[in-house]
Amino acid sequence: MSTNKAVVALNGELKGDREEFKKLIGEKDIFFIAADGGALFLESIGFLPDVIIGDLDSLTKAQYQRYEKMGAKIIKYPVEKDETDGELALQYCRERGFNNIIIIGFAGGRLDQQLANIFLLEYAFRNGITAFIKEPGLEMGIIDREKVFFQKIGVGLSLIPLDEKVTGVTVTGCKYLLESGSLLRYKTRGISNIIEQEKAVITVRKGLLLYILNQLK
């Protein structure tokens, strides 16, 4: 396989334009995986899927056959299954050796689906995959030891524990600092910080944090 990098497109609402997404996706040597209707999302921003995976209930037969004629591999699952199409896409990445993933098409839709999609980041982490959810003005990822943010002055930063208790949390370069503190999943202490320095660093001794970067208006 020529690349270990993939974009997984979910069936979300389009936020931003083509150029914004192209900046987020970056390099040209990228493999595109569509979770069902994510194929339409990809096409709307100027890309075509290499693989379409899922139960295909968001695509008509004519649509997925058209993608197939354009070279996409179709992997169809039954509607009644234990995984979402997004999780199936991540499983495909794990099985094929993609370990650097950007997830797009997250915005909009049902709240339960959005929450499940956020936890795909933890699925990826626990399977040795580096994954981020990215939309124009939004980025999410996992912190298990250290995360450094460069040139993000003025960007909103929230830290949400994925474990019941995350300990040894240190935050530097932000409006609200923390030194070897603890963040609890049922408390909101890590919400709505702001990066104030050219370099902001988050370190964790034990546990997993979800970080969310929001471009503040």
Amino acid in position 32: F
Q: In angstroms, rounded to a whole number, what is the distance separating the alpha carbons of residues 24 and 21?
A: 5
Q: What is the pLDDT of residue 2?
A: 59
Q: Which CATH number fits the domain that encloses residue 170?
A: 2.60.120.320
**CA-based nearest residue to 148, from 66, 85, 213, 215:** 213
Residue with tokens 């209930």: 57
Residue type for position 157:
L
Boundary residue ending a domain (136, 169, 187): 136
Query: How much of the chain exceeds pLDDT 70, in percent?
Result: 98
Asked which of 136, 167, 193 is the last residue of a domain, the reply is 136
127 and 148 part of one domain: no
Q: Who has greater pLDDT, 13 or 174? A: 174
Quick one: 10 and 117 in the same domain? yes
The token pair that represents 127 in the structure block: 């399977």
Question: Within this chain, do residues 146 and 120 fall inside the same structural domain, yes or no?
Answer: no
How much is the pTM?
0.93
Same-domain pairing of 123 and 152: no
Whether residues 39 and 78 fall in one domain: yes
pLDDT tens digit sequence for 110-159: 899 899 999 999 999 999 999 999 999 999 999 999 999 999 999 999 99
Instruction: Report which residue type is found at 138.
Output: L
Task: Based on the fold, state whether residues 153 and 131 are members of the same structural domain.
Answer: no
Q: Tell me the C-alpha distance between 42 and 65, whole Å.
A: 16
Same domain, 173 and 146: yes
Q: Are residues 47 and 85 in the same domain?
A: yes
* Sheet arrangement for strand 199-203: 146-150, 199-203, 165-172, 178-184
Report whether pLDDT(1) > 60: no
The amino acid occupying position 84 is T
Contact 194, 175 (CB under 8 A): yes
Cα 203 from Cα 74, distance rounded (Å): 41
pLDDT tens column, 64-74:
999 999 999 99
Residue type, 37: G
Residues 24, 89: one domain? yes
State the CATH number of the domain containing residue 70: 3.40.50.10240
Question: Quick one: pLDDT at residue 169?
Answer: 98
Mean pLDDT score across all residues of the chain: 93
Domain count, the chain: 2
Task: Tell me: do 70 and 176 sit in the same domain.
Answer: no
Q: Which domain holds residue 176?
A: 142-215
